């Protein structure tokens, strides 16, 4: 049977109408005489309220004096862009007003990193509340990336604040789920400032909008197109009195509405609660007649899609996927183990499968190798897109798995690379490996205090996932020398490789498998030994000649 869908925003609207936090925030604004003040509300919340903007400035605003300006070089909002949304446009008035408030405000925000704060403002004061909230969110991101778990996120309530920025501004905020969910914009029908930019297509709303009318009707919307439609409808109903709107009465009306049941049946009551819910919402705020059926159908479709998507992209997928990756990694480990038993090691076994059995087992793991690579490429890409600081925190959980993946799979990529006759892998190394290594190094530096735990036993997985690239490069240099096309540069490279080897051996950070008889390393050594002659007695040569490597474990 088809599932019945509902319009949860109907309930959100009722919820918002019933709570005291919203009128309390407005009350705090009314009591604010300085540019901004802290208040404690009767229900015990702390409110940072911005006073309303001067009437002169608001009048200038309403004449259309301030328009969008590009964010480039605007230092006051430089914490908003992300890698993906690197620039945006914002209303000039917002920047100008925010600039006027000094560092004291920033310090005040900072004091509330660990305590929940409601930030509020009405009209153009709402601009300040929005920017202040964003700045505090950013400060919290930084705090959290330093490992703090005590942080509390603020919430922003604006009253009749006009749209503030363009779609890139909205996108930059939507990219951070923590930021996105903390904006509530209350808009009364008769407020001329609130709908000022509603027909200016470059402006885009973000956050949740609570629309209300004098009779107490109210409804909540989050979809930007719905918000714009309602704003536009409200604007057309406006009798254009450019008075600053007082929300006190409308707020008490919407709360009063909780006491009464309202109309018991809708005129066109049908079997689709989702659609009926949307209609009810529009009716609540008296704009139903201004919205076409097509628009309602679009709203319905959008919500249906969102609910469906939520159901198909199940919350359990990440957990399933993680276990799938563990399974693939187990296949890889088994492959490594069997190659070891073959006596060549999995690097060379993969690069030059000789026996039929080797070819078959390589075929078997290819799928797992591919799955792992796709998964980690995607994961790394996602995490990298996260705004720098916020991402760091999320990464930690994945890093252990990522490091394992890198150490097991990257050697196979290297094998493939050199097999095709390419050189200089490290210069062409895929980005996701580079990032995984960088994050893992950063993480180790951050978490390990003074003395890194020393190894006394050989690592089971070679720590440097580019190890085999070093071996391949050393082999190439050696080949050049043997062929007579080498130079002093080749000699130096080989010396460097020797000392690299000794460092790795002494720190036990390579796997004993590298010394398996048929491995590329041992093949290189045989040629190198011959090239250098018997008298050659570097530290590494001695280590190999006297057979110490055999007891490396």
Partner 1 sequence: MEVERESVKLLLNDELIKAACNLSMKAHNHNQDYLTNTKKHNASSSSSTQILIIAFKGSLDVDDFYHDDHFGETTVDCSLFPSLRRVGEAQLAKVNGSILKIFQDILNNSGFISEVEKAVKEDKKILFTGHSSGGAKASLATLWMLDEYTRKRKIRHPIGCVTFGSPLIGDRTVSHAVRREKWAGHFTHFVMEHDIVPRMMLAPKTSIQEHLSDILKFFQQKVKPNTTQKSHKFPKFFNKKTPVRTIDHDQLVDDNQAVTFFENVLYNASTVANHDAFDLMEPTNSLKDKLSADFVKVSPYRPFGTYVFCTRGDDLGSSSPRQQLVVENPNSVLQLLFYFLQLPNEDQDLAKFAHESLNANFRYEEELNNNGLQLVKMVDLKHLNDHLLTSDGTTGDTVRTSNKALFELTASAKWCLLAVEEAEKRKLKNMDQIKKSMRKYKSNESEYTTKIKIIEDMLDEMHKYKEKARHGTTDYYEAFKLQDEHVDFEANVSRLEQAKIWDVIVEMVVRKDLPDEFEVWDELVVLATQFRRLYEPSDIANYYRHSKGDDNKGLSYLEVRPKRYKFPQRWYEHANVMGFELLSESNFVAEIEELMIPKKKTVEEARKDFEDIKDKVQMWKSDEKIAYEDVFWGESVLSKLQEKLAEA
530 belongs to the binding site for partner 1 (CB under 8 A): no
Nearest 5 degrees, angle CA 366-CA 368-CA 369? 65
- With CB under 8 A as the contact rule, the residue among 21, 69, 288, 479 that binds partner 1 is 21
Look at the chain and count its residues: 553
DSSP-assigned states of every residue in 40-77: E-TTS-EEEEEPPPPHHHHHHHHTT---EEE-TT-GGG
CA torsion angle 542 346 524 529 (round to 10): 30
Q: Does 536 interact with partner 1 (rule: CB under 8 A)?
A: no
Strand 218-221 versus strand 208-212 pairing type: antiparallel
Binding of partner 1 by 126 (CB under 8 A): no
Smallest separation (angstroms) from partner 1 to the CB of 111? 16
Write out the binding residues for partner 1, residues 436-475 only, by CB under 8 A: 453
CA distances from 136 to 94, 95, 115 (A): 16, 16, 11
Q: Which residues have C-beta within 8 Å of that of residue 477, sequence separation ≥ 6?
A: 486, 490, 493, 494, 497
- Residue 266 DSSP SS3: coil
Q: Does 11 bind partner 1 (CB under 8 A)?
A: yes
Which residue among 33, 34, 44, 312 contacts partner 1 (CB under 8 A)? 44
Instruction: Name the minimum Å distance from CB 481 to partner 1.
Output: 41
Q: Are strands 89-91 and 36-40 parallel, antiparallel or unpaired?
A: unpaired
Distance of CA 425 to the CA centre of its chain: 30
Contact residue for partner 1 among 334, 375, 508, 552 (CB under 8 A)? 334
Q: In the complex, what is the shortest distance from the CB of residue 520 to partner 1, in angstroms, rounded to a whole number?
A: 26
Instruction: Scan residues 137-156 and list those touching partner 1 (CB under 8 A).
Output: 152-153, 155
At its nearest, how many Å lie between partner 1 and the CB of residue 202?
A: 25
Q: What is the DSSP string of 341-400?
A: HHTS-HHHHHHS--SHHHHHHHHHHHHHHHHHHHHHHHHHHHHHHS-HHHHHHHHHHHHH
Q: Closest CB to partner 1 among 12 and 108? A: 12
Which one of 83, 310, 367, 424 is in contact with partner 1 (CB under 8 A)? 310
Candidates 33, 42, 450, 485; binder of partner 1 (CB under 8 A) is 42
Our finding on whether 366 is near partner 1 (CB under 8 A) is: no
At its nearest, how many Å lie between partner 1 and the CB of residue 550? 22
In whole angstroms, what separates CA 327 from the centre of its chain?
27
Min separation Cβ 46 and partner 1, Å: 10
Instruction: Identify residues 181-200 at the interface with partner 1 (CB under 8 A).
Output: 181-184
Site string for partner 1, 58-97 (x = CB under 8 A): ----------------------------------------
Kindly tell me which of 273 and 518 has the beta carbon lying closer to partner 1. 273
Query: Pick from 72, 106, 301, 337: which binds partner 1 (CB under 8 A)?
Result: 337
d(C-alpha 14, C-alpha 327), whole Å: 47
> Are 187 and 195 spatial neighbours (Cβ–Cβ below 8 Å)?
yes
Who contacts 198 (Cβ-Cβ below 8 Å, separation ≥6)?
A: 163, 228, 231, 232, 234, 235
Taking alpha carbons only, the member of 540, 541, 447, 456 closest to residue 502 is 540
Smallest distance, Å, CB 222 to partner 1? 5
Number of residues binding to partner 1, judged by CB under 8 A: 72
Rounded Cα gap, residues 200 and 191, in angstroms: 17
Nearer to partner 1, 4 or 488 (CB): 4
Measured from the CB of residue 453, what is the shortest distance to partner 1 in angstroms? 8
Binding mask 215-254 vs partner 1 (x if CB under 8 A, - otherwise)? -----x-x--------------------------------
Query: Which helix (DSSP H) or strand (DSSP E) does residue 158 occupy?
Result: strand 155-159
Q: Is 40 in the site for partner 1 (CB under 8 A)?
A: no
Candidate ranges 18-26, 374-382, 408-416, 529-537; the one touching partner 1 (CB under 8 A): 18-26
3-state secondary structure of 203: coil
Residue 181 or 538 with smaller CB distance to partner 1: 181
Nearer to partner 1, 62 or 307 (CB): 307
The distance of closest approach from Cβ of residue 303 to partner 1 in the complex, given in angstroms and rounded to an integer, is 8
Q: Which of 248, 311, 492, 553 binds partner 1 (CB under 8 A)?
A: 311
Shortest spacing between CB 307 and partner 1, in angstroms:
5
Burial bucket for residue 168 (CB in 10 Å: 0-12, 13-18, 19+): buried
Q: Token pair of 382, please?
A: 């996602």
Which CB, 118 or 466, lies closer to partner 1?
A: 118
Q: Which of 84, 297, 306, 423 binds partner 1 (CB under 8 A)?
A: 306
First to last CA, the chain: 63
Shortest separation between residue 91's beta carbon and partner 1, angstroms: 23
Residue 9 as a binder of partner 1 (CB under 8 A): the answer is yes
Using the minimum distance from each CB to partner 1, give the nearer residue, 118 or 291. Answer: 118
- Rg over CA atoms, the chain: 32
**What part of residues 379-408 is at the interface with partner 1 (CB under 8 A)?**
400
CB distance 483 to 493 below 8 Å: no
Residues 472-501 that bind partner 1 (CB under 8 A): none
Q: Which part of the chain contacts partner 1 (CB under 8 A), choosing from 36-44, 139-147, 470-478, 499-507? A: 36-44
Contact assessment for residue 219 and residue 15, using Cβ atoms and an 8 Å cutoff:
no
Which residue number, 30 or 181, has a Cβ lying nearer to partner 1? 181
Q: Which helix (H) or strand (E) holds 184?
A: strand 183-188
């Amino acid at each position: 049977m088809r599932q019945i869908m509902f319009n949860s925003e109907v309930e959100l609207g009722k919820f918002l109408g019933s709570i005291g936090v919203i009128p309390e925030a407005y009350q705090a604004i009314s009591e604010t005489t300085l540019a901004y003040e802290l208040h404690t509300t009767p229900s015990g919340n702390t409110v940072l309220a911005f006073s309303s903007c001067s009437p002169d400035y608001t009048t200038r605003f309403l004449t259309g004096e301030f328009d969008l300006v590009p964010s480039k070089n605007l230092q006051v909002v430089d914490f908003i862009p992300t890698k993906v949304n690197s620039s945006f446009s914002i209303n000039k008035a917002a920047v100008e007003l925010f600039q006027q408030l000094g560092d004291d405000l920033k310090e005040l925000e900072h004091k509330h990193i660990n305590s929940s704060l409601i930030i509020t403002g009405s009209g153009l004061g709402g601009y300040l509340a929005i920017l202040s909230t964003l700045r505090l969110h950013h400060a919290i991101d930084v705090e959290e990336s330093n490992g703090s778990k005590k942080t509390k996120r603020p919430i922003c309530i604006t009253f009749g604040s006009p749209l503030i920025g363009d779609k890139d501004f909205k996108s930059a905020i939507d990219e951070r789920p923590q930021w996105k969910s903390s904006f509530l914009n209350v808009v009364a029908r008769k407020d001329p400032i609130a709908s000022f930019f509603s027909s200016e297509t470059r402006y885009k709303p973000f956050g949740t909008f609570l629309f209300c009318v004098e009779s107490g009707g109210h409804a909540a919307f989050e979809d930007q197109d719905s918000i714009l439609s309602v704003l536009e409808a409200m604007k057309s109903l406006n009798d254009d009195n450019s008075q600053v709107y007082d929300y006190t009465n409308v707020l008490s009306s919407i709360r009063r509405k909780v006491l009464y049941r309202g109309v018991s049946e809708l005129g066109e009551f049908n079997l689709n609660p989702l659609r009926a819910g949307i209609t009810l919402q529009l009716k609540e705020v008296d704009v139903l007649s201004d919205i076409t059926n097509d628009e309602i159908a679009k709203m319905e479709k959008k919500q249906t899609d969102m609910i469906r998507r939520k159901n198909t992209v199940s919350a359990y997928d990440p957990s399933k996927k993680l276990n799938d990756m563990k399974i693939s990694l187990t296949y890889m480990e088994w492959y490594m183990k069997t190659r070891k038993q073959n006596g060549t090691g999995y690097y060379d076994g993969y690069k030059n499968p000789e026996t039929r059995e080797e070819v078959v087992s390589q075929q078997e793991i290819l799928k797992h190798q591919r799955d792992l690579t796709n998964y980690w490429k995607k994961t790394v890409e996602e995490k990298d897109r996260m705004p720098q600081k916020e991402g760091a925190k999320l990464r930690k959980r994945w890093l252990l798995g990522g490091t394992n993946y890198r150490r097991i799979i990257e050697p196979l990529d290297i094998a493939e690379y050199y097999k095709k006759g390419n050189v200089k892998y490290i210069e062409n190394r895929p980005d996701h490996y580079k990032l995984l290594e960088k994050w893992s190094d950063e993480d180790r530096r951050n978490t390990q205090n003074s003395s890194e735990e020393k190894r006394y036993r050989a690592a089971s997985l070679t720590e440097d996932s580019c190890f085999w690239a070093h071996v391949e490069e050393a082999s190439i240099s050696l080949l050049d020398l043997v062929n007579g096309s080498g130079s002093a540069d080749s000699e130096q490279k080989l010396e460097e490789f020797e000392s690299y080897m000794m460092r790795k051996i002494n720190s036990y950070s390579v796997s004993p498998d590298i010394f398996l008889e048929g491995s590329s390393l041992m093949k290189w050594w045989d040629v190198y030994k011959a090239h250098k002659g018997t008298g050659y007695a570097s530290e590494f040569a001695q280590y190999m000649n006297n057979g110490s490597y055999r007891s490396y474990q």
